[in-house]
Amino acid sequence: MIAGLVQILLFQGLGEIAARFLLPLIPGPVIGLVLLLAWLRVRGSVPQSVDLVATAFSQNLGLLFVPAAVGVVMFWPHIRSHALAVAAALVVSVIATMAVTALVLRAVAKDEPE
């Protein structure tokens, strides 16, 4: 499990370095995730250690929402006063996420043999 965590953190660190020096507009963890995806794609499979860590993370993903929920409660008056802007941002971001996911799936599915 430690080896998988080290690999994931290595790619996040590489992403942070790339964000710092090459692509300051893109967050480091996003760049690291893309680098990890590229590495897994070139490798052709997911190492067992990385799969173990990813499974553990995804099983406990709900814990990551606790700080966000605290922030919502803490800033509730501001959120309520800007409800229309918040709702618009949520709708646009959901649509954009779905569109990008569909495009990535289409691009990846093109490369897969049937």
Instruction: Return mean pLDDT, the chain.
Output: 92
Structure tokens at 31: 């760049």
CB 35 within 8 A of CB 11: yes
Number of helices (H), then strands (E), in the chain: 6, 0
> C-alpha distances in angstroms, 101 versus 47, 75, 82, 95, 97?
24, 30, 28, 10, 6
Which pLDDT tens digit goes with each residue over 10-31?
999 999 999 999 988 999 999 9
Structure tokens at 13: 């660190």
Mean of the pLDDT values across residues 60-83? 90
Residue-range domain boundaries for the chain: 1-59, 66-114
| CA gap 56, 77 in Å, rounded | 36
- What's residue 114's pLDDT? 62
